[in-house]
Structure 1
Amino acid sequence: MSSPYGPQNAPAGDVGAALLMIDSRLKSIHNGTTGTDTEQRELIEQFTASLGPEGAHDVLDGACTLIYMYMVWLRKAHEEHGKDVIEYVVPNLVASLRMMPRSIRPEAIPTMAGLVIAAGTGLSPNLWRKQYGEWTEVEMTPLEATTFLLAEHINRIADDPDFATRLITDALSRTDEL
C-alpha cells in the first residue's frame, strides 16, 4: 500500500543548492579551512537570503531529498552485509549530534533521528516532518548537520572523500538524460 508520505509525493526541492552547501562544508573540513562557525553561518545566511523565501524552502526540500537519497544508498549497502540501516546509522548519528551542544539543541535531535528513520524506511523526510507543522529556526542547523553527517558516513564507508557528492551528481545527471 502506498503511503501519503512516500517520496513520489514529495517535492525534490533544489537538490543542487543543498548539495553545494554540504559539499562546501565537507571540503572545508577535509581541507582544514573551516574558519569560524560564525563565518560559515553568515555565508550560509547570505546565500539563503539571496534565494528569497521560496528559494530557501526549495533548498530545505533539497536537503531532505539528499537525506532520502543517502539513506537509500546506506540501506542497500547495509543490506548487502545482512545489517539493518536503522540499527547502524541512527545511533551513530544521534551520538554525533549530541556531541555538538553549542550548535545542536537537544530538542532537535529526535526530529533529525525521525527524518533519518523515515528515509531509511522509504518515506519522504520532508513529508514526514511536515505532518508536525512548519520547520523551525532551531531545526535548520541540525538539518544541515544531519545531511553532512550522512554524507561523511557514506564517504568513510566508500573510503572516498567525494563519494557522497558524486553519488548525487551522478543521479542528477541520469535524471537530466531522461
Structure 2
Amino acid sequence: MSSPCDPEYAPAGDVGAALMVIDSRLKSIYDGKAAPGPEHQQMVEQFAASLGQVGFDALLDGACTLIYMFMSWLRAACEDHDKDVIEHVVPSLVATMRMMPKTFRPEVIPTMAGLLIAAGTDLSPNLWRAQYGRWTEAEMNPLEATAVLLAEHVNRVSGDDHDFATRLITEALSRSDQI
C-alpha cells in the first residue's frame, strides 16, 4: 500500500543549491572552522533572501532530498553488514544534536530525528514534515545542521573521505541528467 509520504510524490527541490550550502559548511568544518564566521552567515542569508519564497521552499525541499539520499545510501551500507540504519545512525546523530544546544534547541530535536527516521524507513522527509504544517524559522538552522551532520556521517562511513557525500550526490544528479 502506498503512503502519502512516499518519495515518488515529493518534490526534489533545488538539490544543487542545498548541496552547495551543505558542502560549504562541511568544508568549513574540515578546515577547522566549526562555527562559520559572520561573513559566511551573511552570504547564506543573502543567498536565501535572493531566492524568494518559491526558491526558498525549493531549497528546503532540496535539503530534505539530500537527507533522503544520504539515508538511502546509509541504509544500503547498513544492510550490507546486517545492521539497521535507524539503530546505527539516529542515536549518534541525536546525541550530537544534544551536544549542540545553540543549533539544536531541545524542542526541534524530535523533528530532526523524525526526518532521519522517515528517510530511514523510505519515506519522504519533506512530505513527512509537511503533515505537521509549514516549516518554522526555528527549524531552519537545525535542518541545515541535520543535513550537514548526516553528510559528515556518510563521509566517515566511507572511510573518512571528506568529499564522498558531495560526490555521491553530484554523481546521482549527473546520472539523472543523462536519463
- Does the 8 A contact of 2:28 with 2:36 survive in 1? no
Could you give the per-residue CA deviations for residues 83-104 of structure 1, whole angstroms, max 9, x where no partner exists? 0000010001111111111122
**Is contact 2:25-2:148 (8 Å) kept?**
yes
The Cα of 1:33 is off from its aligned counterpart by 4.4
> CA 1:174–1:125 in structure 2 vs 1: closer, same or farther (change >3 Å)?
same
Deviation of 1:41 after TM superposition, in Å, equals 2.6
Instruction: Name the SS for the 1:82 alignment partner.
Output: coil
> Take 1:161 and 1:169, find their aligned partners in 2: how far apart are those partners?
14
Count of matched residue pairs: 178
The two structures have a TM-score, normalised by structure 2, of: 0.96
1:154-165 matches, cutoff 5 A: 154-159=154-159, 160-165=161-166
Q: How does 1:90-101 map to 2 (within 5 A)?
A: 90-101=90-101
Q: Which residue of 2 aligns with 1:87?
A: 87
Report the AA paired with residue 47 of structure 1. F
> Is residue 169 of structure 2 the alignment partner of residue 175 of structure 1?
no
Residue identity opposite 1:30 in structure 2: Y
Change (3 A) 1:113 1:35: closer
Q: Which residue of 1 aligns with 2:132?
A: 132
* Uncovered stretches (5+) of structure 1, i.e. residues with no partner: none
Q: Which amino acid aligns with 1:176?
A: D
Q: Deviations over 1:4-23 (max 9, x none)?
A: 10000000000000000000
% identical equivalent positions: 68
Give 1:9-48 correspondences, 5 Å limit: 9-33=9-33, 36-48=36-48
Tell me the secondary structure at the aligned position of residue 86 of structure 1. helix
What is the alpha-carbon distance in structure 2 between the residues aligned to residue 155 and residue 36 of structure 1? 20
Alpha-carbon displacement from aligned partner over 1:37-56 (angstroms, at most 9, x marks no partner): 54433221111001111111
Are the aligned partners of 2:151 and 2:165 in contact in 1 as well (CA < 8 Å)?
yes
Q: Could you tell me which residue of structure 1 aligns to residue 118 of structure 2?
A: 118
> Bigger CA drift: 122-131 or 97-106?
97-106
Q: 2:75 maps to which residue?
A: 75
Unaligned ranges ≥5, structure 2: none
2: CA distance, partners of 1:36 / 1:171: 28
Q: Does 2:108 align with 1:104?
A: no
Distance of 1:162 and 1:116 partners within structure 2: 21
SS in 2 for 1:122: coil
Of 136-145 and 32-41, the range deviating more from structure 2: 32-41
Q: Is the 8 A contact 2:98 2:104 kept in 1?
A: yes
